[in-house]
Amino acid sequence: MRRWWAGVDWSEDLQDCAIVDDNGAVVAHLRIPETAAGVDELFDALRALNPRSHRFSRRQVPIAIESGSRLLVAELRRRRHPVIVIPPAIVARHRGRLATATSKADRTDASLLANILRMYPERYREMPDQSDRAAAVAVLVRAQHTSAHTSREAMLRLRSHLSLYYPAAIEAWAGMDHGLRRGEARALLRLAPTPRHAAALSKRKIAEALAAGGRTRLLDAEAARLRALFAQPCLRQPAAVEEAMGHSLLVRLADLDQACIHAEHLLEQCINAFEPHSHFAIYRSFPGCGPMLAGRLFAEIGDDSTRFATARGLRAYAGTAPLTWASGGSSAVSHRRVCNRYLKAAVHQWAFSSLTRSPGCRALYDARRERGDRYAAALRHVGNRLLSGLHHCLRENRPYDERRMFPPTVEAG
């Protein structure tokens, strides 16, 4: 039976679409806009491949594309057409295999994508069939991750500026969670942007600023600590320079405020979007898996029950499964570098958080350290175990159970 494959090389204007047959020859090429009419034109070209057979359907022709977030892909999936995402790095590696001269053109890349599917149909699967809610959570989580990264960068710029004339402000919140991003820190810096202003503050003014920044506990003790810190003698810039640096600080502080507000707003939206999902309770039942971390894991794993047939596949996707390199009589085992890096980072954080909340995770970590594993390698083993448990709980639709995850060992007597 004759078969066809299609490839789409996307751009901001027109999308190049190529259809190849069993021999790799291009049987059709068209350029379509990213609109409903463009999708109809593509489907008409697919139906015209075998119009005489009543058994032939356009859905028998899978479409390969390099990005799964395009509007074109959303429309294709809405119409239940099979779409396969091939990473650009793989396309680049194949570009020199099918031609003597390595060139880059939209038309040839479209046929190249189709030919990759034709040559290796068993290596690529359709995009996971995620629910709309899961896709929405993924969008919010990625946006929140970007906003949190922006707030960290803004904080580092602010800290660098403070080191030039106001080191006491850095010392004031050093070692605390979020550091200068804390609401109380930002509120106090707005009130006292220079060492001169800080030294003139009374304990009552400091306490009021801390309360305005959201602090509710030990206000008097914290105000007294900061009052003593700001009153200590320190190196100072000339008065005019210090005043100018204070004005510059307020501008940088406004940027940090905005970034923190965006990150906090998106965090709330992520939690609100994920809470109604049936998987929320399962993720939250695991030790060390808070609401935001659960959302990050869920965003990368999704809710398609057929996406990962085994826990091993999920571990490989997260980059925690070991990778063996063997050649001749030598072999080496290392960690995976080609993986979902967002998920890998989330699992690393999850494994670290579980050490103080799960005796089994802590015992596993300590055992791996005693065997000679370094810190990161031991955490990867903990992450592997957690991912295996998560895969089982999602398949069985049951919450985490510490005793089933880490059954007690029975000593021989």
pLDDT at 409: 67
Q: Whole-prediction pTM value?
A: 0.83
Confirm if 362 and 356 have CB atoms less than 8 A apart. yes
Confirm if 117 and 84 have CB atoms less than 8 A apart. yes
DSSP 55: T
What is the Cα gyration radius of the chain? 28
- Reported as half-sphere exposure (CB side, CA atoms, 13 A), residue 221 has a value of 3
Confirm if 171 and 234 have CB atoms less than 8 A apart. no
Confirm if 292 and 162 have CB atoms less than 8 A apart. no
DSSP 104: -
- In degrees and rounded to multiples of 5, residue 79 shows phi and psi of -90, 15
Classify burial at 94, counting beta carbons within 10 Å of its beta carbon; exposed 0-12, middle 13-18, buried 19 or more. middle
pLDDT tens per residue, the chain (413 residues)? 689 999 999 888 888 999 999 888 999 999 999 999 999 999 999 999 988 888 888 999 999 999 888 889 999 999 999 999 998 888 888 877 766 556 677 788 899 999 999 998 888 888 888 888 999 999 999 999 999 999 999 999 999 999 999 999 999 998 888 889 999 999 999 999 999 999 999 999 999 999 998 888 889 999 999 999 999 988 889 999 999 999 999 999 999 999 999 999 999 999 999 999 999 999 999 999 999 999 999 999 999 888 898 999 999 999 888 777 777 777 777 777 778 899 999 999 999 999 999 999 999 999 999 999 899 999 999 999 999 999 999 999 999 999 999 987 644 33
Confirm if 353 and 290 have CB atoms less than 8 A apart. yes
Confirm if 257 and 186 have CB atoms less than 8 A apart. yes
Tokens at 388, concatenated: 């295996």
Q: E-strand spans in 80-184?
A: 83-85
The CA distances from residue 308 to 168, 305, 317, 387, in Å, are 52, 7, 9, 12
